Amino acid sequence: MLSVSDLSQPLERYIEHTLLKPDATEAQIIAHCREAAELGLLAVCVSPAWVSTAAQVLRGTSVLVDTTCGFPLGSETTTIKVAEAINSLRLGAGEIDMVMNIGALKSGLYDWVQQDMAQVAMACHARGAKLKVILEMGYLSDAEKVNACELAADAGVDFVKTATGFGPGGATIADVELMRRSIRPGMGVKAAGGIRDLATALAMIEAGADRIGTSAGASIVRLAREL
């Protein structure tokens, strides 16, 4: 099994410290961001309403501000998703995690799914930001998972992501391995959903994850530093 010393970069640089609870308060968001900065984590992931707050707290640090789009269902129109992404980038986000239109994929409406991703990807790239698309793997068959990864690649997406954390199931080793096999070189995989300890985070990285989205980022890193 992979150990912390085997990693190609510090564990902190994999972690997107996530706080998406609907009842998260301003004080909790601020504390969350300060914790990420103190530990040197790669990014925080907060809801769009808190992007401006996070950006202010993290100004002058290396911590990225990541936020969601079309979250958690993915069923907004493409126009709304593009507008939401642009607004979040204007407020200080550097990366966007957008939920795929799951129903459209399962309906075989592949052009719709691809264009939905592509329009948001273009909006992000035009503003120097990266797009991750959440596939919500718990709803999909293996064939649909592969199809979704291929559509994301065709759309110019930067990362595919396992789950919102609000749907059925979370990140699994099998899904991360499948995603890694199905995407193109240069794309990344973000594992998220139910990753709460160091062993699970390392297993996801060993399976092919480039990013770990977790609300337990601080405790995972602190434990790793004690080893």
161 is catalytic: yes
Q: Residue 192's pLDDT is what?
A: 99
Residue 8 amino acid letter: S
Residue 148's pLDDT band (cuts 50, 70, 90): very high
Residues linked to residue 65 through DSSP beta bridges, in sequence order: 44
Average pLDDT for 7-11: 97
Q: Residue 208's pLDDT is what?
A: 99
Give the model confidence (pLDDT) of 14-53 as tens digits: 999 999 999 999 999 999 999 999 999 999 999 999 999 9
Q: Residue 87's pLDDT is what?
A: 99
Q: What CATH number has the domain bearing residue 172?
A: 3.20.20.70
Give the model confidence (pLDDT) of 116-125 as tens digits: 999 999 999 9
**Average pLDDT along the chain:** 99
pTM above 0.85, yes or no: yes
Query: Does residue 224 contact residue 198 with C-beta atoms inside 8 Å?
Result: yes
How many domains are there within the chain?
A: 1
Q: Residue 121's pLDDT is what?
A: 99
Residue 1's pLDDT band (cuts 50, 70, 90): confident
Give the model confidence (pLDDT) of 80-89 as tens digits: 999 999 999 9
Count Cα neighbours of 212 within 13 Å in the Cβ-side half-sphere.
31
- Count of other CB atoms within 10 angstroms of residue 60: 7
Which structural domain range is residue 10 located in?
A: 4-226
- Catalytic one of 81, 132, 145, 161: 161
Query: Does residue 76 contact residue 84 with C-beta atoms inside 8 Å?
Result: yes
- Catalytic one of 66, 81, 97, 132: 97
- Catalytic one of 81, 132, 145, 190: 190
